[in-house]
Amino acid sequence: MKQVVSVVNLKGGVGKTTTAVNLAACWAEQGKKVLLVDLDPQGSASICVGIMSKGRRLLDAMQKIIALPVVPTGVTGLDLVPSGPELAAARQIFVDGPGDEIFASCLRQTTGDWDCVIIDCPPSLDVLTMSSLLASQHVIVPVEASFLGLNGVRQMRAAVESAKSRNAELDIRAIIPCRAQPRRRIHWEIMDRLNEMFPGKVSPIIHENVSLAEAPGRGTPVIISARISRGSDDYRLVSLWLAEHVGLEEKQVIEFSHDELTHPMEEVSSL
Ligand SMILES: Nc1ncnc2c1ncn2[C@@H]1O[C@H](COP(=O)(O)OP(=O)(O)O)[C@@H](O)[C@H]1O
Ligand SMILES: [Mg+2]
């Protein structure tokens, strides 16, 4: 089964969309096939890969409980489910009953040879974010190094714990310190607190970097708009670190060693 990753934080402006888009692009650069799902009616992830959408087809798919609309992007190996303002109606339509399970059903019907799905969530714990949590095995939480940011992570942890009662596979795999400014003392204070709260789960940092602020305006991930930049280096490093934490690398290693072991043994026994 493909790996499904929700990028979530109840706070806005912390780097969720930047992280979803650039992780997706880095994994695609490393040869994986990736589906990026924009589940925020602001449509920011779509804009970051140069695609404008009204969100109508995504809303339609959820109303009819059919496969999600997928479009290719200009990045090899990266496809997108685009979103836009019309998806906001989902907040009224699906709020009652088991409406938050519909998205998972649509995703199951969406066929493709993706190794992983990355879902960019809106900055609230609404029916769209809950839909994403119910469809995922992995949660990653981008965090800004501030005390209010720390509070947001606590709320996020509580929200994931409650979603686990309906989706036992779900867990927070990584906290990604974003927009980091390590010259500030508060950065290190917050890093200490994060490491205490989530031992082994805090990723390498993403620095505050102009290449990342400029990339959305160019409609491409940073590894394309500024191939050699601190923003690209940081997201490449975090993407490698995270691939291990969500089991993307593990899957390949297991398959490889299985082939390596069985074929020679079969040859030996047939002699
Ligand atoms: N590491 C960074 N360095 C500089 N600007 C950043 C960085 N991460 C995000 N930004 C900018 O900050 C703003 C908010 O980021 P975004 O990823 O959209 O946050 P969210 O999805 O959590 O609301 C955007 O304009 C984005 O380009
Ligand atoms: Mg966003």
R_g over Cα of the chain: 19
DSSP H/E element including 80: strand 78-81
202 CB-near residues (< 8 Å, 6+ apart): 174, 175, 177, 191, 194, 195
Spacing, Cα 133 to ligand 2 middle (Å): 16
For residue 266, the model assigns a pLDDT of 32
44 ligand 1 Cβ < 6 A: yes
CA–CA distances in Å: residue 212 to residues 39, 110, 225, 254: 21, 31, 9, 35
Q: Name the pTM for this structure.
A: 0.92
Number of compact structural domains in the chain: 1
Phi-psi domain of 208 (left: phi exceeds 0; alpha: psi -120 through 50; beta: other): beta
206 ligand 1 Cβ < 6 A: yes
For atom 24 of ligand 1, the residue with the nearest CA is 213
222 ligand 1 Cβ < 6 A: no
For residue 2, the model assigns a pLDDT of 79
For residue 156, the model assigns a pLDDT of 93
Tell me the two tokens of residue 54.
């009204």
Q: Are strands 71-72 and 78-81 parallel, antiparallel or unpaired?
A: antiparallel
Q: What is the 8-class DSSP label of residue 236?
A: H
CA–CA separation, 174 and 69 (whole Å): 28
Task: Print the domain residue range for 66.
Answer: 3-270
Ion ligand 2 residue ranges (Cβ < 5 Å): 16-17, 44
Whether residue 134 contacts residue 101, with contact meaning beta carbons closer than 8 Å, is answered with: yes
Q: Which ligand is nearest to the CA of 142?
A: 1
Spacing, Cα 21 to ligand 2 middle (Å): 10
123 ligand 1 Cβ < 6 A: yes
For atom 11 of ligand 1, the residue with the nearest CA is 213
For residue 1, the model assigns a pLDDT of 54
**What CATH number should be reported for the domain holding residue 224?**
3.40.50.300
Spacing, Cα 19 to ligand 1 middle (Å): 8
CA–CA separation, 42 and 83 (whole Å): 7
CA–CA separation, 271 and 28 (whole Å): 42
129 ligand 1 Cβ < 6 A: no
Q: What is the 8-class DSSP label of residue 9?
A: -
Strands across the sheet with 3-7, in order?
71-72, 78-81, 34-38, 116-120, 3-7, 138-144, 171-178
Tell me the residue type at 233: D
Residue pLDDT tens, the chain, 271 long: 579 999 999 999 999 999 999 999 999 999 999 999 999 999 999 999 999 999 999 999 999 999 999 999 999 999 999 999 999 999 999 987 789 999 999 999 999 999 999 999 999 999 999 999 999 999 999 999 888 889 889 999 999 999 999 999 999 999 999 999 999 999 999 999 999 999 999 999 999 999 999 999 999 999 999 999 999 999 999 999 999 888 877 444 334 333 333 333 333 333 3
CA–CA separation, 12 and 144 (whole Å): 10
Spacing, Cα 175 to ligand 1 middle (Å): 16
